[in-house]
Amino acid sequence: MALSLYVDTARWRAHQKTVIDQFPGIVPVCKGNGYGFGHERLSEETSRFGADMLAVGTTYEAARIKDWFGGDLLVLTPFRRGEEPVPLPDRVIRSVSSVDGVHALVGARVVIECMSSMKRHGIGEHELGLLHAAIEDVRLEGFALHLPLDRTDGTDAVEEVIGWMDRLRAARLPLHTMFVSHLKADEQARLQQQFPQTRFRARIGTRLWLGDHEATEYRGAVLDVTRVAKGDRFGYRQQKAASDGWLVVVAGGTSHGVGLEAPKAMHGVMPRAKGVARAGLATVNRNLSPFVWAGKQRWFAEPPHMQVSILFVPSDAQEPKVGDELVAHLRHTTTQFDRLVER
């Protein structure tokens, strides 16, 4: 009995092809938990469709993935002096976001990150003049821009990239390759048309692996079902059942990522109102689980355990049976499945 990730492989790969066709020179991204699929599986997929480069989050990920993917590996986390050395092959390319970092990587293959409106990390315009001497001692693979997902101020992503292209050109720096993140296909095409001598390479993870929500589905197997009456005590904290129904033990707990949720950026009155309502219910131990039974998301009977969750299903719903599977709405990037089932 397990928390399973079901994958419609043909549909999943058809979506991959759609994205690959839209972004010539795509650099697939495999970081974190491998977008829910795992590093080994995404490395295999990247090799299957013939990409020559795979982007990873850290040097530690590169050290693991190097045995599964034979092409170039681009480490997205910028190099810093004093970081723990990790043995890596020459086909690993390091991102760098400072002039000092470039000087420290003599002989290495590097991509220089420019400071975008994300304001996370990157070389500033005032530092471009210092790069001439620094890049003489490295193998420059290109420059990069990590752009924001949303532009609430109405600015144009293409114009931001053009601005940096103009700055780099004015500083007489090589512009053979520009790595970009979070551009639309038509935006990349516009840039490629305007700068035909530069190769634009999109680094894409979420859109490539998770863009078709119908291609994947998590399901938790029912392990036990116990009937309870209103007022019966149960669980670690011996709470009382609010009404007649069933306690349903389902595979999937905190070790799988069940019950974990990243903070959300809320815009508008309705999302904020729903957030306030959820917080209010949580204060009286009412927390909605990700598991669906009989067409409804069911409430946690108590906080999820390490490997299972206990749900409350009221008596007016159909009784679940041991061996049934409940669909679970889980975030791929925070979920660890027990098994992957291909369909």
**Which of helix, strand or coil describes residue 187?**
helix
Task: Give CA 260 to chain center in angstroms.
Answer: 15
Q: Are 26 and 51 in contact (CB under 8 A)?
A: yes
The answer, yes or no, to whether residue 30 has pLDDT greater than 80, is yes
Domains identified in the chain and CATH numbers: 8-211 (3.20.20.10), 214-342 (2.40.37.10)
The share of the chain scoring above pLDDT 70, in percent, equals 92
The answer, yes or no, to whether residue 270 has pLDDT greater than 90, is no
Which pLDDT band, with edges at 50, 70 and 90, does 281 fall under? very low
Query: Count of CB atoms within 10 A of residue 95's CB?
Result: 22
Q: How far apart are CA 65 and CA 68, in angstroms?
A: 5
Please spell the DSSP secondary structure of 298-342, one letter per residue: EEESSS--SSEEEEEEETTSPPP-TT-EEEE---GGG---SEEEE
Q: What is the pLDDT of residue 81?
A: 94
Q: What is the pLDDT of residue 267?
A: 54
Burial letters for 26-57: b for 16+ Cβ neighbours within 10 Å, e otherwise? bbbbbbbbbbbbbbebbbebbeeeebebbbbe
The answer, yes or no, to whether residue 282 has pLDDT greater than 60, is no
The answer, yes or no, to whether residue 180 has pLDDT greater than 60, is yes
Query: Count of CB atoms within 10 A of residue 138's CB?
Result: 20
Q: Are 204 and 29 in contact (CB under 8 A)?
A: yes
The region of weakest confidence among 269-273, 301-305, 321-325 is 269-273
The answer, yes or no, to whether residue 268 has pLDDT greater than 80, is no
- Structure confidence by residue, pLDDT tens digits, 188-220: 999 999 999 999 999 999 999 999 999 999 999
Mean pLDDT, to the nearest integer, of 212-230? 97
Q: According to DSSP H, which parts of the chain are helical?
A: 9-22, 39-48, 59-65, 99-104, 131-135, 157-170, 185-194, 206-210, 269-282
Q: What separation in angstroms does the CA of 121 have from each of 75, 167, 265, 271? A: 14, 17, 21, 30
The answer, yes or no, to whether residue 278 has pLDDT greater than 60, is no
Which residues fall within 8 angstroms of residue 310, CB to CB, at 6 or more apart? 234, 235, 247, 248, 249, 250, 300, 301, 302, 304
Q: Are 116 and 161 in contact (CB under 8 A)?
A: no
Mean pLDDT, to the nearest integer, of 43-56? 98
Which pLDDT band, with edges at 50, 70 and 90, does 154 fall under? confident
User: Which tokens in the block code for residue 184?
Assistant: 């639309």
Which pLDDT band, with edges at 50, 70 and 90, does 1 fall under? confident
Q: What is the pLDDT of residue 263?
A: 62
Task: Give CA 138 to chain center in angstroms.
Answer: 30
Averaged pLDDT score across all residues of the chain: 93
Residue 312: burial class (beta carbons within 10 Å; 0-12, 13-18, 19+): buried
- Structure confidence by residue, pLDDT tens digits, 78-128: 999 999 999 999 999 999 999 999 999 999 999 999 999 999 999 999 999
Q: What is the pLDDT of residue 235?
A: 92
